Structure 1
Amino acid sequence: EAAITEKTKAIMVVHYAGYACDMPAILEIARQHKLSVIEDAAHAVGASLDGKALGTWGSVGCFSFFGNKNLTTAEGGMLVTDDPEIAQKVRILRSHGMTTLTWDRFKGHASTYDVVAQGYNYRMDELRSALGREQLKRIPAGNARRGELLNLYRELLGQEVPAIRVPFTQERGQSSYHIMPVLLPSGADKHAFMEQMKQQGIQTSWHYPPVHRFSVYKEAYASRPNPLPVTDEVAQREVTLPLYPTMTDEQVAWVVESVVSALQ
């Protein structure tokens, strides 16, 4: 809230790893300052808070259907809103700023079109849509299995490597358990750890390199001092372990054993 200025138009929240932000508190801040709320729900398909789906609390919710997401169409995504004005504008922008689609003209609903904005080509084709509808049926069982695996990770890591911190133990609502982030002990060499895991046949990842450290932003804000020391500290320690619905309990145990070995 302290970062809000007269230039602020909206609050954008990220339901990182599928865990809910404190939406009631955020919406109250937005109400007091007359701001919109945009939810980055890319990790949060199937997640909810107080029985309400993440991505539907704010003015706009954004979902990703990339290949590594809980629901995938290989590429693409979805924007949801209950604001008719936003919905109409997005429908136009997603198709080159055109007022009607080819399908509308084919069905006889229109004979021509106008271009009223500099839009984009964000249309999803029928094949991806059909794939997404089938994937949607798997979300409840898939997310539940992810939750079981995550609880096993927490148990085994707590027993074998208590120095590793597993975040989100006090989660709000129902998570989608999209990824399994952990924080290595302070002073651990993260890149050496990831290489050791790779040598043992286990892929790890990093979610994410700090945005303010990317060249384009460093150059744009070069005159400003680094305002995000906590972000930098967490990024130096965060590693993402494997987590997917078809993973077995035995594979989780193997990953944990490899973590112990890689830290030695």
Structure 2
Amino acid sequence: MDYNIPLFDLNYDDKEENAVLDVLRSKWISTGPKSQELEEMFCEYFKVEHAVSLTNCTVALHLAMEVLGLQEGDEVICPSLTFVATANAIRYVGAKPVFADIKSEETLTIDPEHIKKLITDKTKAIVVMHYAGFACEMDEILSIARENNLKVIEDACHGPLSEFKDKKLGTIGDVGCFSFFSNKNLSTGEGGMLLTNNRELAEKAKLMRSHGMTTMSYNRAKGHSTSYDVVALGYNYRMDDIRASLGIVQLGKLPEDLEKRSKVRFAYERALESVNNIKVPFKNHPYFSSNYIFPIVLSENVEKSRDEIRDLLHKSGIQTSIHYPPVHLFDIYYDEKERGLSKTESVYNRLITLPMYGKLAEEKVDYICKKLKEYAV
């Protein structure tokens, strides 16, 4: 189906085209100077010591588990209202994801109080996901982690340049992970970044991303080294310079785009302010957000189902989505002992993601909200 108002619109122009052409003409298209430049930009923009460019956010999460020493038999607390990669990465190292509930309909991030109830002597880490680019309650979560000697991994795939107090998301815990998937705020098709202020963790991640090799191909091609050793069982998780060149342009555009997204969110909030049957999560959130998506939660009093309303919106030319089906309900994770996330399950059944991008015109926001008012009665 062709939509008059898509869920997302790629923020690309000739700058991205020219960046790719420059890399192609350089004759060096794998990991090299552009990947390094993107890492340096991240360090500057995010005020963090170390950045490691990678093929995607899933492998960033996997490497976070690896470099923090998580292993078989460990338990890692994470949200269920997230993309499945958050939990999959825990299983990659043999550990067990333990799913926590969200705080409420108003706050769709992991509940610190539920985290406390889930801690056992096997718990080794907490993974938070900053839903829609809105910060989790990091002071409480860090306090819990310190009290129980736990590591904290931030899945910040929704939150490039989002903030918690005076810090960027992804720089607060032990390791932060970012996604550059095609529909993210910063888009390179595929790609990701791992951030940390710990030099040892960064060096481990760099080693593991390239087969455990002591030097990279670009170093050898430029005569900085003529041989290499393999000192660890690593992976091929390297980003290439073609995608890195896109990331450089996209990161440069990001601050302006996020300001536009803030205005789109304000337009939505204003248009839906008097609609009793629709709740807008994260209203009056105190910190800057990337506004990666715009979720709404239908009231339990709405006569039509969530899926019926989505279908009507689609027939009106408006694309929607659901972020996300709870991970603990998937067959691969289904376990009766891990059910009982009542708030997550209740919200999921009433959750709709509306279009959100910087170029979304206010009249289109008004049209979306007009249709919602017609259907959500």
Q: TM-score, normalised by structure 2?
A: 0.67
2:262/2:291 contact within 8 Å kept: yes
- The residue correspondences of 1:24-63 to structure 2 (distance < 5 A) are 24-63=139-178
SS in 2 for 1:252: helix
Cα distance in 1 for residues equivalent to 2:349 and 2:326: 10
Query: Sequence identity of aligned pairs in percent?
Result: 45
Q: Which of 189, 201, 207 is the equivalent residue of 1:86?
A: 201
In 1, the alpha carbon distance for the partners of 2:255 and 2:235 equals 33
Structure 1 outlier segments of 4+, above 4 Å: none
1:258 matched residue in structure 2: 371
Listed one character per residue, the Cα deviations across residues 141-161 of structure 1 (whole Å, up to 9, x for unaligned) are 1111111111111111123x2
**Conserved in 2, the CA contact under 8 Å of 1:44 and 1:175?**
yes
Alignment partner, residue 240 of structure 1: 353
Deviation at 1:194, TM superposition (A): 0.8
CA–CA distance in structure 2, aligned partners of residues 134 and 256 of structure 1: 33
The alignment partner of 2:349 has SS state of helix
Q: Does structure 1 residue 72 correspond to structure 2 residue 180?
A: no
Equivalent residues of 1:65, 1:71 under 8 A apart: yes
Alignment of 1:115-126 (within 5 A): 115-126=230-241
**Displacement, 1:249?**
0.5
Amino acid at match of 2:360: M
Deviation at 1:64, TM superposition (A): 0.6
Is 1:195 aligned to residue 322 of structure 2? Answer: no
Q: CA deviation at 1:203?
A: 0.3
Give deviations 1:104-126, integer Å, cap 9, x for gaps: 21122322223333322221111
1:180 aligns with 2:294: yes
- Counterparts of 1:225 and 1:35 in 2: how far apart (Å)? 21
Residue 285 of structure 2 is aligned with which of 171, 179, 186?
A: 171
Q: Unaligned 5+ residue runs, structure 1?
A: none
| Residue 49 (structure 1) shift | 1.6
Report whether the alignment pairs 1:156 with 2:266.
Answer: no
What is the CA distance between 1:206 and its match in structure 2?
A: 0.2
* Inter-partner Cα distance in structure 1 for 2:284 and 2:117: 25
How many residue pairs were aligned?
A: 260
Question: Root-mean-square deviation (CA), in Å?
Answer: 1.4
Counterpart amino acid of 1:209?
P
Structure number with the bigger relative contact order (C-alpha 8 A, sep ≥ 6) is: 2
SS in 2 for 1:2: helix
Does structure 1 residue 144 correspond to structure 2 residue 297?
Answer: no
Q: 2:331 aligns with which of 210, 215, 236?
A: 215
String of CA shifts for 1:19-78, please: whole Å, max 9, x gaps.
Answer: 011112211111111111111100000111222111100110001111111111111110
- 3-state SS of paired residue (2:348): helix
What is the CA–CA distance in structure 2 between the aligned matches of 1:98 and 1:227, rounded to whole Å? 45
For the Cα contact (< 8 Å) 1:179–1:242, is it kept in 2?
yes
Is the contact between residue 19 and residue 172 of structure 1 (CA under 8 Å) also seen in structure 2? no
Is the Cα contact below 8 Å between 1:15 and 1:43 reproduced in 2?
yes
8 Å CA contact 1:13, 1:21 repeated in 2: yes
Task: Give the whole-Å Cα distance in 2 for the aligned partners of 1:119 and 1:238.
Answer: 39
Deviation of 1:89 after TM superposition, in Å, equals 1.2
Moved more, 50-59 or 110-119: 110-119
Secondary structure at the aligned position of 1:55 is classed as coil
Q: 1:180 Cα deviation (Å)?
A: 0.3
Letter in 1 for 2:128: V
Amino acid at match of 1:194: R
